[in-house]
Amino acid sequence: MQSSLSRNLFAAAGVAAFLAGNVACATVIATFDDLPAPPKVDSSSSLQLANKNSLSYQGITWDDGFDVVGDEHRVDTVTPGPFYGKPHSPHYFVTNQGGADGLLITTDMVLTGAWFGPNEYFGFGRGADGITIVALSGATELGSVTHALDPVDTGQTAPIEFVDTSAFLGLSGITGYRIDRHVPNEFQVNWVADDFQFESAQAPNPPTLVLTGIGLVALLGMWRRPSGSPR
């Protein structure tokens, strides 16, 4: 009896391990470097145009207020001034078109992080000094993460920093996100962002997997037991 129980528990652990390996989270990273019609690296365009008139990119619907910007784009092209922003991945990043506030991202995937920074205009004034990412279920706010952006203006392209939103993994019913900005004045209103990382699913925790495995092994034992055999 004991050896049979041990075999069943061993089998349950095996099933649990199999489930853990096959219910993994799939990671999606929006780099904006693989868009089908990006602007030149010294210019910018709306994400919709860069994506051939579609707001669906990487299986996610993006607000029409997102602009795609090349890493050699400058506001001041005469002096010339500093680059507008610095991407995390090779050549492209996004910004809030015209300083728009409350840009929406529509997806049921979990946003676990993204890279953000203030933009640089002419070398004597940066953009927004903070952003808040709000997780939404319809119009309901489920949670938020606030991150301060570097306020020290050196006249050079601002650094880009990782904003950790992995706390959203603990939320359920997510349908999208809203990006709010904090601005020091009415003129410094832009931010830059890159490499939005999403997880498409959450794996069950280990106790759940073990219980599931035990249940499957028990069902397997019942199926294998010959009809009329002693119980």
Same domain, 89 and 9: no
Same domain, 39 and 104: yes
pLDDT digits (tens, 9 = 90+) for 12-33: 444 444 444 444 569 999 999 9
Within-domain flag for 164: yes
Within-domain flag for 231: no
Within-domain flag for 155: yes
Within-domain flag for 230: no
Supply the CATH number for residue 131's domain.
Answer: 2.60.120
Same domain, 208 and 132: no
Predicted confidence (pLDDT) at residue 155 exceeds the cutoff of 80: yes
pLDDT digits (tens, 9 = 90+) for 2-12: 445 445 544 44
Within-domain flag for 189: yes
Same domain, 6 and 87: no
Range with the poorest average pLDDT among 64-68, 150-154, 180-184, 194-198:
150-154
Within-domain flag for 114: yes
Nearest to 94 by CA among 119, 112, 111: 119
pLDDT digits (tens, 9 = 90+) for 88-130: 999 999 999 999 999 999 999 999 999 999 999 999 889 999 9
* pLDDT interval class at 231 (50, 70, 90): very low
Same domain, 6 and 103: no
Same domain, 82 and 37: yes
Q: Residues 46-72: what's their mean pLDDT?
A: 98
Neighbour-count burial of 37, counting CB atoms closer than 10 A to its CB (0-12 exposed, 13-18 middle, 19+ buried): exposed
CA dihedral 35, 37, 40, 45 (to 10 degrees): -90
Rounded to two decimals, the pTM is: 0.78
pLDDT for the residue numbered 113 = 98
- Please give the Cα distance from 57 to 55 (Å, whole number): 6
Concatenated DSSP letters of 195-219: EEEEES--PPPHHHHHHHHHHHHHH
- Please give the Cα distance from 142 to 136 (Å, whole number): 5
Same domain, 80 and 5: no
* pLDDT interval class at 201 (50, 70, 90): low
Within-domain flag for 191: yes
Within-domain flag for 17: yes
Same domain, 121 and 143: yes
Instruction: Report the domain count for the chain.
Output: 2
Sign of CA dihedral 61, 115, 180, 189: negative
Q: How many CB atoms sit inside 10 A of residue 9's CB?
A: 14
Same domain, 77 and 62: yes
133, β-bridge pairs: 145, 179
Nearest to 116 by CA among 145, 79, 153: 145
Structural domain that includes position 8: 1-24+204-224
Same domain, 41 and 154: yes
Average pLDDT, the chain: 85
- Please give the Cα distance from 189 to 38 (Å, whole number): 24
Same domain, 16 and 95: no
Same domain, 130 and 17: no
Q: Residues 71-90: what's their mean pLDDT?
A: 96
Q: What percent of the chain has pLDDT over 70?
A: 76
